[in-house]
Amino acid sequence: MDDNKYKYVNIDGKTETEHRSLLEKRLGRRLDDRFEVTHHKNGNKSDNRVENLEIMSRSEHAKLHARRAERVELHCKLCNKVYFMRKKKYEWKIKRGEKVLFCSKRCQGLTKQPPHRNISLEHEEIIRREFGGGLSGYAIAKKYGLNAATVYNHLRKRPVV
């Protein structure tokens, strides 16, 4: 038997988690499912001793587990900034097939703000020449490994020659 699984009880024909029902009995009231969670202090989900249980708000509980989460150190593929990601999230992204990871949505090109990468004058010349030659900003970004938002921001800065 796995010692770190929730235990369930049958109360009035309904299946409930044992730790919640024990805490509700002790308090003499139902827990509000929207806002209150029962936290196992020692991390063992099957240890339902009352002294091991505490009520927390959902946000407090999420913050507590986020602080405890194992993290991996990564380098942004655009700005080369060092950043950290929860290990489970990193593994999930890799499993989904994401090969390039970024430090922020700005570097990923998902926001309208320009990324924090300086483009050399040589890159600006290339961007303007390629755009004048008929390539879209997205195609230029893909061809030269740039962020599409960066390309469009530099095109707006100076007129295309």
**pLDDT tens for each residue of 107-154:** 777 655 544 455 666 777 888 888 888 988 888 888 877 878 878 877
- pLDDT < 50 stretches in the chain: 1, 114-116, 158-161
Residue 40 φ then ψ, to 5°: -90, 115
Q: Considering the domain boundaries, does residue 2 fall inside one?
A: no
Residues 61 and 22 in one domain: yes
Residues 96 and 117 in one domain: no
Q: Which residue range is the domain that position 82 belongs to?
A: 71-103
Distance separating alpha carbons of residues 116 and 114, to the nearest angstrom: 7
pLDDT at position 15, please? Answer: 92
Distance separating alpha carbons of residues 7 and 135, to the nearest angstrom: 61
Count Cβ atoms within 10 A of the Cβ of residue 115 and give its class: 0-12 exposed, 13-18 middle, 19 or more buried: buried
Q: Considering the domain boundaries, does residue 151 fall inside one?
A: yes
- Evaluated on CA atoms 105, 111, 113, 114, the torsion sign reads positive
Residues 116 and 155 in one domain: yes
Q: pTM to 2 decimals?
A: 0.48
pLDDT at position 103, please? Answer: 85
Is-contact 127 154, C-beta < 8 A?
A: yes
Distance separating alpha carbons of residues 74 and 77, to the nearest angstrom: 9
Residues 45 and 86 in one domain: no
Residues 54 and 88 in one domain: no
Residues 59 and 87 in one domain: no
Residues 51 and 38 in one domain: yes
Distance separating alpha carbons of residues 101 and 78, to the nearest angstrom: 9
